[in-house]
Amino acid sequence: YTVCIFKIFTCIDLYNLFYIYKFNRIFFLNMYMHKNEYLFAVVKEDVDQLLLGMRFSKEKVHLIYQGSMGRERLSFKRIHLADNRWHSMVLSISGHHATLTLDCGIPLELVHKQPFPSDLSTDGSRFHIGSRRKWKGLFSGLLRQLVLLAGSDATPRVCPSFKPSLVEFSIPTILSNLPVKSQLNDVLLPPYGCHLCWSVCHTKKDRLDYVDDYQDLYTTSETLDIELFQIPSVGLFAAMAHRANKPGSAIYRWNHGQFQLYQNISTFKAQAWKQFTIGRKMFLAVSNSVGPADGERELSVIYRWSNKRLKFVRYQTLETHSARDWEAFHINNENGNHNIDSVVYKWNPGTKTFEVNQTISTSGAYDWEFFTVGPYHFLAVANAFDGTSTQTDSSIYIWLGGAFQLYQTIRTFGATDWEMFQIGNRVFLALANGHMLCERGPSLYTINSTIYELDMTTKMFLKFQDIVTYSAVDWEFFSVGDEHFLVVANSYDGSSYSLNSVIYRCSWYCLINNNFLIYNN
């Protein structure tokens, strides 16, 4: 009347499933030696009463069921399953008789005084696969297939076999032939229907921490930023911003399964790289935080990829002041590139250069984040220091009338990064606070970084959640299936630079409870 196959650990709610007088179980398993391990169990939930179960011990297989006179047990002895090999097993029960066939071998038969009940009620019960209930009698082997089949002995359906320990039960054929008349006796399948409800439980999500070291890149200096990008028909590149002026920063190319040094570029305490394209031209911009020598102008440089020389060549220089970052973005068919030093540059297709489009007042700006919500374009700046304190306002701007206009200010503490992300139709901004510098007293590095959500009623970004961080320098958001993750890079807690970065996870429930939960350190 029913066939059930299980390949993972599941729980099943049952309603009158075993109103039968004869049934079969077929198992395909790989087992290790433990005591009292349950392959399956039917348990009445309210009183924790075992109605039906199959249990393994070192050399025995036990079938336990609730009979008319109380609990009954059928034990098959000298059954060796704990040998780290696959086994198939068919158990058939009818009245006083029980037959066990292991790996299509000679059947073992038991005759019991009390017959198997024909009216075993399973109202209010739960079917546990791989346990007695929750953590009781946990099965430590591998279960490949479990079939519950009403009717006569199912052994002829799977045996004989060329691989008796790895036989498979043909489920579609069995289902298509119900009800059938047995070829071995006159037993007919019962005409009862079966109402089966099931829900997966006690399962774990796929872990995301299966990350192994693949390659170590030994650089000539401290690396402050990495920019990955692809050049069509050439390959994958990684531009690294090095602090030391000599030999400058390096560009690596992916070759034969690893990154190899491709080109050195002269930089001056480089802070970040940004790759972008305009039409068919590919550019790479570096933000230099100092000049070539004391007293000389600070110049950040834009390089263009040369298809003839197959290298990046200097294209344009822009005067900056302690530049930290580049952000390239596109608005209404206008290409722009903007430097952290409070200047928005606009691409002029006539002169083929970047020209100043707008200046924005900032205070020790550390990062820009460009994002779009519907038809509106926003630009958020992370202000880190106003000359006296790190407690300053960071600003969010909106593109109106050909320029960015102030949209909202948010009080921050040494802000270092903005990260915009969306979950469904909800828009969030994650802010990384670096440290709190006070005029009096020590600086605080263990402070809250904050996640804000765009409230569609007030048209403002409102606080969604505070998260304790340690001089945070970066947020990154990513999704895997229906799961959403935020990772924060912690840099300093006031005494040590050796800190864990933390991954936070948000499922549907976090949007209700306003709470990202720690997923992994």
- pLDDT single digits (tens) 59-92: 888 888 888 778 888 888 888 776 767 788 888 8
Which has the minimum average pLDDT: 39-43, 174-178, 347-351?
174-178
314 or 401: whose pLDDT is higher?
314
CA separation for the pair 254, 247 (Å, rounded): 21
Question: With bands split at pLDDT 50, 70 and 90, how would you rate the model's confidence at 274?
Answer: very high
Look up the pTM and report it: 0.42
Maximum distance among all alpha carbons in the chain?
A: 103
Which has the minimum average pLDDT: 43-52, 152-161, 427-436?
152-161
CA distances (Å), origin 142, targets 6, 30, 82, 85, 146: 11, 5, 11, 10, 11
CA separation for the pair 452, 287 (Å, rounded): 28
Pick left, alpha or beta for residue 135 (phi over 0 → left; psi -120 to 50 → alpha; otherwise beta): alpha
Tell me the percentage of the chain whose pLDDT exceeds 70: 75
CA separation for the pair 241, 308 (Å, rounded): 25
Evaluate the CA torsion angle 156, 157, 161, 166 in order and state its sign.
negative
Q: What is the CATH number of domain 361-521?
A: 2.115.10.20
Predicted local confidence at residue 12, as pLDDT: 33
CA separation for the pair 457, 443 (Å, rounded): 37
- Reading the block at residue 444, the tokens are 């605080």
- Reading the block at residue 59, the tokens are 């050399």
Output the DSSP codes for 30-75. E----SSEEEEEEEETTTTEEEEEEEE-SSEEEEEEEETTEEEEEE
- For domain 219-359, give the CATH superfamily: Kelch-type beta propeller (2.120.10.80)
The single-letter DSSP state of residue 190 is: P
Predicted local confidence at residue 377, as pLDDT: 94
Asked whether residue 10 carries a pLDDT value surpassing 80, the answer given is no
- Which residues have CB under 8 Å from 8's CB, separation 6+? 200, 203
Predicted local confidence at residue 517, as pLDDT: 60
Level-2 CATH architecture, domain 11-199 = Sandwich (2.60)
The single-letter DSSP state of residue 189 is: P
Predicted local confidence at residue 415, as pLDDT: 92
CA separation for the pair 452, 514 (Å, rounded): 11
Average pLDDT, the chain: 77
Output the DSSP codes for 285-340. EEEESS-SSTTSPPEEEEEEEETTTTEEEEEEEEE-SS---EEEEEETTEEEEEET
Mean predicted confidence (pLDDT) in 495-520: 65
CA separation for the pair 367, 350 (Å, rounded): 30
Report the residue count for the chain: 521
Tokens 């030093």 belong to: 341
Predicted local confidence at residue 2, as pLDDT: 27
Mean predicted confidence (pLDDT) in 490-512: 73
Which residues on adjacent β-strands are paired with residue 362? Answer: none
Predicted local confidence at residue 206, as pLDDT: 53
CATH 2.115.10.20 domain residues, the chain: 361-521
Output the DSSP codes for 124-147. TEEEEESSSBTTBT---SEEEEEE
CA separation for the pair 112, 460 (Å, rounded): 75
Closest residue by Cα to residue 397 from 369, 364, 356, 422: 369
Q: Could you give the angle at the alpha carbon of 235 between the alpha carbons of 232 and 240, nearest 5°?
A: 115
Range 461-482 burial, b when 16+ CB lie within 10 A, else e = beebbebebbbbbbbebeeeee
- Reading the block at residue 264, the tokens are 């050195």
Predicted local confidence at residue 270, as pLDDT: 92
Predicted local confidence at residue 496, as pLDDT: 83
Q: What is the 3-state secondary structure (H, E, C) of 458-511?
A: CCEEEEEEEEEEECEEEEEEEEECCEEEEEEEECCCCCCCCCCCEEEEECHHHH
